[in-house]
Chains A and B, each alone.
Chain A
Amino acid sequence: GAGVSQSPSNKVTEKGKDVELRCDPISGHTALYWYRQSLGQGLEFLIYFQGNSAPDKSGLPSDRFSAERTGGSVSTLTIQRTQQEDSAVYLCASSLAAGPYSNQPQHFGDGTRLSIL
């Protein structure tokens, strides 16, 4: 079946512009996650949606970052007034359920490579 789909695959924009990154999770997956990965670095957790619960925004690095998930499916990560340090690969993942007792792994999309000039 279809995996996690992210768009665009690459985005180049000027400093100060706003960008929107899209994630379409695997059908039926209730949990959706956003991560950021800078070159040569590990995964940095940003935000997590689980069903209709309030999202866990604890990883968002600043108030320039926000995300929403409409209809429990597609999610959009928005970065306002982009800075050069926002340059990274933004990865989205989804899972059938979440939490330690679900035993459900996360499945990743191919990511969006964001470059801020």
Chain B
Amino acid sequence: QKEVEQNSGPLSVPEGAIASLNCTYSDRVSQSFFWYRQYSGKSPELIMSIYSNGDKEDGRFTAQLNKASQYVSLLIRDSQPSDSATYLCAVYNSGNTPLVFGKGTRLSVIA
């Protein structure tokens, strides 16, 4: 079973701090990686994608990928209470299969 693992949290950070969310995956040939944000009672929305080793920045969000260590992370700078949500890591494994989702990390940004 090829899996995607995340700490369930909750991860609590003060407003203005950097939130760091981590994800590990088991399929070493995985190629595509995505972060989704899911507010309570809402559906997941795509916030970042990353395909190559290194960092990818988009506004306050930075995705980091290390294929050798099989982890992907999401940094949220200057965290705001509106960032409080569950963050889902998703990975395309090898083969013609759909995205595999982690169970998500719940982030709470305290004002």
Contact = CB atoms under 8 A, between A and B. Distances in A.
Contacts of B51: 103
A107 B46 contact: yes
A100 B88 contact: no
Interface string A94-117: 000011111101111111000000
Interface residues of B, number: 26
B61 interface: no
A40 B58 CA distance: 29
A108 B101 contact: no
A100 B31 CA distance: 6
Contacts, number: 61
Most A-side CB within 10 Å, residue of B93, B94, B97, B99: B99
Contact of B97 (A99, A103, A108): A99
A108 B45 contact: yes
A106 to B, nearest CB: 6
B70 interface: no
Interface of B: 29-32, 34, 42-46, 49, 51, 88, 90, 92-99, 101-104
A45 B93 CA distance: 14
Contact of B99 (A41, A101, A106, A110): A106
Contacts of B99: 33, 105-106
A42 B32 CA distance: 20
A73 interface: no
Given A43-B44, A110-B43, A103 B31 contact: yes
Contact of A45 (B34, B44, B98): B98
B98 A48 contact: yes
Given A100-B32, A100-B93, A33 B98 contact: yes
List of 5 A-B pairs having minimum Cβ-Cβ separation, nearest first? A42-B103, A100-B92, A100-B31, A108-B43, A48-B98
